[in-house]
Amino acid sequence: MSSSEPVIDVRGLGKRYDIYDNPRDRLKQLIVPKLASLIGRSRSTPSYHREFWALQDISFQVRPGETLGIIGRNGGGKSTLLQILAGTLAPTLGDVTVKGRVAALLELGSGFNPDFTGRENVLLNARILGLSREQIEASYDEIVAFADIGDFIDQPVKTYSSGMFVRLAFAVQAHINASIVIIDEALAVGDVFFRQKCYARLEEIRASGAAVLLVSHAMTDIEQFCDRAILLDHGKMNFIGDATEAAKRYYQLHQERALIAEKSDVEADKRPQDFGAGQTSNFDHWPDDENFIDASNQIQIGNGWAKCLRYAVCDTRGKRCASFAQGDEAVFYSEFITLKPISVPLAGIVLQNERGINVHGKGSLEHYAETPDHIPAGVIIQCRQTVELKLELGEYTFELGLATIDGDTYRDMSGLNHERIFSRIVRVCHLPRAGIIAVGWRPVHHGTALTHHGIADLPGTFEYAFKTNSTD
């Protein structure tokens, strides 16, 4: 990330809208205060509108080469903020400084004339975006090749399919060599092959030193591409900082927890208290204390129902380990203490590669681990999870956490779809960047020192058959 002056500097930004119940109130608001002022009654002038603040007290900076994510639920203020930064909307309060050319991928195809051909729209749109004729000519072939719509480039865009339309629109915006690129969900356009091109182009834009603002509801995109992220909630900044932490706070902020909270409290109180004080672990092996990392100084994102006490990553001998050979088995240990009663506990880990891509995420839910339906407050939950590191060579960050789900859903999982199950999960405690492990070459006893190519080693088989090539 460059240490030069910020290309975006936002200080105390606020945007207010006046909400009128009917058109006549708008006219009254325009006329009545002026009449009241003329007759000296301005102090008692009635108001005919309600104020709605879409953004309040927003401050941040973005420097060249930085990728900043902006996340939040619908209505949080994301689109309003982008429009202000793009210059299409004026703020009510605060100062906004934007330096350099801005490419705003907000509404793809805005400014396209449906009666013009694709070629004519490329030239027109590029001029609207501020490119000179020489710059357009230098980028034209690259834009057309990226859109990959063939001879349709010389056909009116009103004859295009929706996919062809957004391909061309994205290609124009992504090739104007701007110093600031604003992307609002645009990476989700087109088929899988075009999306791959979009992601690759984003990597090129980042590498060129441009500042990128990425708005997405896909937290995987935020974690993979962004250095930092802003979490907006009802127009206010709930959090700004590490992108991974922001993504976890997004989930934590908006999860539906009231129903399970009430059920846990009621049912846990009815359950016999068979968690005796000082009860020892049922595991055949538990690492010595020196192998554990104290979690009290780690960032923990939670709802106050539990917290992580400590965790460890060990080899199969129970010794702390951070470097493994490809295919080795790593054992993850963690301890959580419940601060309030919870229903079925769900614990697990996620591994991310150096590009921020989730390459493995699994836990007690996927393993369908045996567990009580209810855990009272004050219970220490011990977790042990083994993972075969059949991954490409490199370093991986790991995160761990604890969630809960009601017993009925857990028991009936086989008859429920993915959305139904995950809508019932309450995230209780999460450590977004708990540590790092490395996967290296394996000792060669048979075969090669590398078991596979690519991110993961997928199960499968390979067979040969040979026959004589007859030329009769």
Whether the Cβ atoms of residue 215 and residue 74 lie closer than 8 Å to each other: no
Which CATH number describes the domain made up of 256-440? 2.70.50.60
pLDDT in tens, 359-370: 999 999 999 898
Range with lowest mean pLDDT among 25-39, 226-240, 405-419, 433-447: 25-39
Flag whether pLDDT at 32 surpasses 70. no
133's tokens: 């004729």
Residue 272: other Cβ atoms inside 10 A: 6
Residue 258, pLDDT above cutoff 90 = no
d(CA 96, CA 98) in angstroms, rounded, equals 7
> What are the extents of the domains in the chain?
8-247, 256-440
Q: List pLDDT tens digits, range 207-231.
A: 888 899 999 888 888 988 899 999 9
The predicted model gives 132-142 an average pLDDT of 83
Same fold, 8-247 and 256-440: no
Q: Write down the pLDDT at residue 317.
A: 92
Arithmetic mean of pLDDT, 410-436: 88
Q: Does domain 8-247 have CATH number 3.40.50.1860?
A: no
**Is the pLDDT at 434 greater than 70, yes or no?**
yes
Confidence band, pLDDT 50/70/90 cuts, at residue 463 = confident
Residue range 34-43: mean pLDDT, rounded: 64
